[in-house]
Amino acid sequence: MKKHIILKIFLFSFISSITLAQSQKDYFTLKGTIHGNYNGYLYLNYNDVKDSCIVTKNQFSFKGKIPIATVGYFSTGRLASMANDFYLENGNIKMDISIEKKKVKDF
């Protein structure tokens, strides 16, 4: 009887771990909305990768694959910067962001 119960517990644990491993994604999907009126390219920078997408109706979407969680940030061009970076990891991610145009004065 004990062996039967132990076998059931083992099988349940084994099947649960397989199901959990299959449900974890090995890629990320980052979708979001830009508040305000922005048209153009949005760049996602992480590790040594610079990915881009065209913003349509203030919506953007990126897909990629990373081995471990890493820091990412958005930019809109060569001189653009972001006030806050964020952690990027495999899975589904949703974001709402704002883009502001600012003039930089010469020093």
Interval 37-47: pLDDT, tens: 888 999 999 99
Give the pLDDT band (50/70/90) at residue 105: confident
The reported pLDDT for the residue numbered 29 is 96
CA 89, CA 72: separation in Å to the nearest integer?
10
Average pLDDT over residues 15-42: 76
Question: Residue 30: beta bridge partners?
Answer: 62, 93
Token pair 């471990």 is found at 68
pLDDT tens profile 61-75: 999 999 999 999 998
Question: Residue 59: beta bridge partners?
Answer: 33, 56
DSSP designation for 105: P
Copy the structure tokens of residue 102: 């600012």
Give the pLDDT band (50/70/90) at residue 22: very low
* 3-class secondary-structure state, position 1: coil
DSSP designation for 25: -
Copy the structure tokens of residue 104: 């930089």
Would you tell me how many other CB atoms lie within 10 Å of the CB of residue 26?
Answer: 9
| Residue ranges with strand state E in 16-101 | 28-35, 40-46, 49-55, 59-64, 70-75, 86-88, 91-98
CA 21, CA 35: separation in Å to the nearest integer?
36
